[in-house]
Amino acid sequence: MLIRVIEELVTDGLRERVAPLVPPLKRHRCRMRELALFGLLAVFLPLLVSTGPASADTSPHARKLVVEGLADPDVYKVDDNLYFLSGTSSRHFMSIYTSSDLQTFSLLRRYDPDQSDSRYDYCNEWAPDLERPGADYVLYFTASRVSKGAACPSDNSASTIFYATAPSATNDMHFGAPHTINEGTTYPRTHVTADCPPDGCNKAMRLDPSVYFDGSRWWMHYTWFDPGDGEVVSAFPLDAPGQVFEVTRPTTPAEQGINEAPTLFSRDGMQYLFYSQGGFGDRYAMEYFVGAQVSDLTRRHPRYSFSSPLETHDGRLIENQGHNTVTDRNGQFYTLYHVARFTSTGDYDGRDVYIQPLMFKADGTLNTLNTVTLTWTATTQGAYSLDVQTRDGAWITECMAAGARSSVTFNEVCTSAGDQVVRKADVTAFRINRVVAGVTLATTTLAYDGYTDSLSASV
């Protein structure tokens, strides 16, 4: 459902009615003609409906667009029938949506901190995080702050983290004036100027607040700016803010100097932490840690890849995925994340929020969002190619060329077939071909379930 359209209807009113797709039939005086017409329809309508390729049903593992033009989503679950979704828009406010089923979201309210604060103005409001640690709802968010009436941002202002509260009695999300965090202390805190605090840059909470309850303790995760390495994620328990520890920092070229957007959840006694790496308008991607406790969720433990940007055969970006949030409904876990769109020339063109089921492996790790690694036993002669079958039964031949290699990672782009995008949820089979001197000598077909991230075969 495209929420942008709904917002326009809510705020501007219905401007025009949509004309019916089929004009009404004229009334005929002769009832025999009506009966004849209905008889013909009864005979031919089933034929017309079945003409052409069979329509494939939607995969239960497919992603679904829920909010167009939104980024940095955060979801708060009240119960299985009430959820609140917030995120970053292109304007100077944060939108809050509500849903009863995690499929359809309606705009509830927009929060503009300028309207609630008589002393300051705010801009670049990003990455909200909604929680209810006590009697009130608390909305944490990133913004730049200046004096009332001043240009925002100013030369000396920088993004930092604030919070606002709203009574929870009515669930109407009427948030008041923003507050600072740990101001006047040596703990990690709101720091509105662009410099580092005297006690360390890691004490300036800059981006992407994430407050999480692990069942016994509340935690704050945040992003700060290291002058040398870039964006770093750190954390501390809210009841002991002096116990700061580092979660992850960029160490490889692929991370582009950015680790950000932490979000946490738990399942079956295990704790999970997602974060995003790379530029949001570039090769953004999601990684995660899993462990028995929150303190395990750092670079001292194994990290796993969850998503990978879609690129053409020559490296032009098609889309990327990142900055996610996780919730559950009726026992099924879901992730909501934003997808960055790119033009045909590879230029950034905005972001939208999607929802997709999470699929876990037996060891508690996750199947990836959009990749499938296929491996096989290669011979010394010949080259290998990959065909893909979609849910409508059609085959895309030579989707990918593997050469003499014994593996290939399908990343939802058929780079040898015109860069056609095929979602892994829409794949029902892979076919691996061994070709020698232009002749296919062997093939192996593997049925596919739409979510597994690895397959192996002999060819």
Could you state, in order of their start, the residue ranges of all structural domains in the chain?
Answer: 64-357, 372-458
176-185 long-range contacts, CB within 8 A, separation 24+: 176/116, 177/113, 177/116, 177/117, 177/118, 178/113, 178/116, 178/117, 178/120, 178/122, 178/141, 178/143, 178/145, 181/205, 182/241, 185/241
According to the model, what pLDDT value does residue 381 have? Answer: 83
Q: What is the pLDDT of residues 418-442, one digit of tens each?
A: 999 999 999 999 999 999 988 999 9
HEC letters along the chain? CCHHHHHHHHHHCCCCCCCCCCCCCCCCCCHHHHHHHHHHHHHHHHHHHHCCCCCCCCCCCCCEEEEECCEEEEEEEEECCEEEEEEECCCCCEEEEEECCCCCCEEEEEECHHHHCCCEEEEEEEEEEEECCCCEEEEEEEEEEEECCCCCCCCCECCEEEEEEEECCCCCCCCCCCECCCCCCCCCEECCECCCCCCCHHHEECEEEEEEECCCCEEEEEEEEECCCEEEEEEEECCCCCCCEEEECCCCHHHCCEEEEEEEEEECCEEEEEEEECCCCCCCEEEEEEECCHHHCCCCCCCEECCCCEECCCCCEEEEEEEEEEEEECCEEEEEEEEEEECCCCCEEEEEEEEEECCECCCCCECCCCCEEEEEECCCCCEEEEEEEECCCCEEEEEEEEECCCEEEECCEECCCCCEECCHHHEEEEEEEEEECCEEEEEEEEECCCCCCEEEEEC
Where residue 7 falls among pLDDT bands split at 50, 70, 90? very low
> The tokens of 339 are what?
């997808």
Query: Is the four-CA dihedral 254, 194, 325, 265 of positive or negative sign?
Result: positive
For 291, other C-beta atoms within 10 Å of its C-beta total: 17
454 beta partners: 373
User: Residue 157's Cα: distance from chain center in Å?
Assistant: 29
CA distances for 251 relative to 128, 230, 231, angstroms: 27, 10, 11
Q: What is the pLDDT of residues 107-134, one digit of tens each?
A: 999 999 999 999 999 999 999 999 999 9
Q: What digits encode the pLDDT tens for the residues 241-281?
A: 999 999 999 999 999 999 999 999 999 999 999 999 999 99
* 314 contact partners, CB below 8 Å, separation of at least 6: none
- Give pLDDT, residue 14: 31
CA separation for the pair 9, 286 (Å, rounded) = 34
pLDDT in tens, 375-419: 999 887 889 999 999 999 999 999 999 999 999 999 999 999 999
Is the CB of residue 385 less than 8 Å from the CB of residue 435? yes
The share of the chain scoring above pLDDT 90, in percent, equals 84
341: phi > 0 → left, psi -120 to 50 → alpha, else beta; which? beta
In Å, what is the CA distance from 380 to each residue of 374, 383, 445, 459?
Answer: 18, 9, 21, 12
Q: What's the predicted TM-score (pTM) here?
A: 0.87
Q: What would the mean pLDDT of 170-190 be, rounded to a whole number?
A: 97
Which CATH class, in words, describes the domain spanning 64-357? mainly beta
Question: What does the pLDDT read at residue 199?
Answer: 97
Rounded CA-CA distance 7/13 in Å is 9
Residue linked to tokens 């709101």: 190
Res 42 pLDDT > 70: no
Q: Structure tokens of 189?
A: 């805190």
Write down the residue that tokens 């955060």 correspond to: 74
Q: Which amino acid is at 173?
A: M
Beta-strand relationship, 372-377 and 407-410: antiparallel
Task: Please tell me which residue, 41 or 453, carries the higher pLDDT value.
Answer: 453
Those residues with Cβ within 8 angstroms of residue 216's Cβ, 6 or more apart along the chain or in another chain: none
Tell me the Ramachandran region of residue 150: left when phi exceeds 0, alpha when psi lies from -120 to 50, beta otherwise: beta
Confidence class for position 459, pLDDT limits 50, 70, 90:
confident
